[in-house]
Structure 1
């Protein structure tokens, strides 16, 4: 068994697609009409057939409440692995991304948390021991 699809609630699919592709560097994988919305997924260019991230509209009141609640508590909605958190932190800062925490070493993992502009906090993590 493996994970093929993970979803993240977004307040605007078009804005999310722009952020996740133009800023983070993901690639659009699927874009199909789904009623008033779209079945819209992105993937890592490093793994085009890997796990897809569904940019799911948060129009359901329960979804909005959940998304707002974890954001307010500072809980990331998901995490992305990078080779070097410090380098990615600097690159994303230069692109105007707002970070809620700077790269922090936690044991063998370095992590940083940013705002995806679509209602979520996202964690970047690497496994470079002793960074």
Structure 2
């Protein structure tokens, strides 16, 4: 079993596509019209055949209270791994991305949280090398 598709609810699919591709650096994978919305997915350029992230319309009535509660509590909806969080922090800050939590050392990783401009908080994580056991 492996991960194939995850979704993130977005207020506006076109704005989300611009943010996730032009700002974060993902690549558009599928853009299939389905009435007023699209089956719209992005993938990592580091793994173009890997898991897809569905930019799913946030129209369902349960989505708004769910996301509002997560944001109010500072809980990210999704997490992305990065190799160098300090470099990503500089790159994204230069692009105008709002960090709700700057890079923070939490022991086993360095984490930061950004606002994806689409109604979600996104956590960025740089894992630290495991300490030698012996």
TM-score by length of 2: 0.94
CA distance in structure 1 between the aligned counterparts of 2:101 and 2:129, rounded to whole angstroms:
19
User: CA shift at 1:13, angstroms?
Assistant: 0.3
CA distance in structure 2 between the aligned counterparts of 1:58 and 1:69, rounded to whole angstroms:
14
CA distance in structure 2 between the aligned counterparts of 1:14 and 1:72, rounded to whole angstroms:
25
Q: Which residue of 2 aligns with 1:115?
A: 115
> Which residues in structure 2 correspond to 1:24-103 (within 5 Å)?
24-103=24-103
Unaligned runs of 5+ in 1: none
CA distance in structure 2 between the aligned counterparts of 1:23 and 1:68, rounded to whole angstroms:
23
Where does structure 1 differ by over 3 angstroms across 4 or more consecutive aligned residues?
none
Aligned residues: 130
User: CA shift at 1:129, angstroms?
Assistant: 4.5
> Which residues in structure 2 correspond to 1:1-16 (within 5 Å)?
1-16=1-16
User: CA shift at 1:36, angstroms?
Assistant: 1.7
Question: 1:125 and 2:118 equivalent?
Answer: no
- The Cα offsets for residues 40-69 of structure 1, whole Å up to 9 and x where unpaired, read as 000001100001000000001101211111
- The Cα offsets for residues 76-98 of structure 1, whole Å up to 9 and x where unpaired, read as 00100000111101110000000
1:83 is paired with a residue of what secondary structure? coil
Unaligned runs of 5+ in 2: none
TM-score by length of 1: 0.96
Q: CA RMSD in A?
A: 1.1
CA distance in structure 1 between the aligned counterparts of 2:100 and 2:35, rounded to whole angstroms:
35
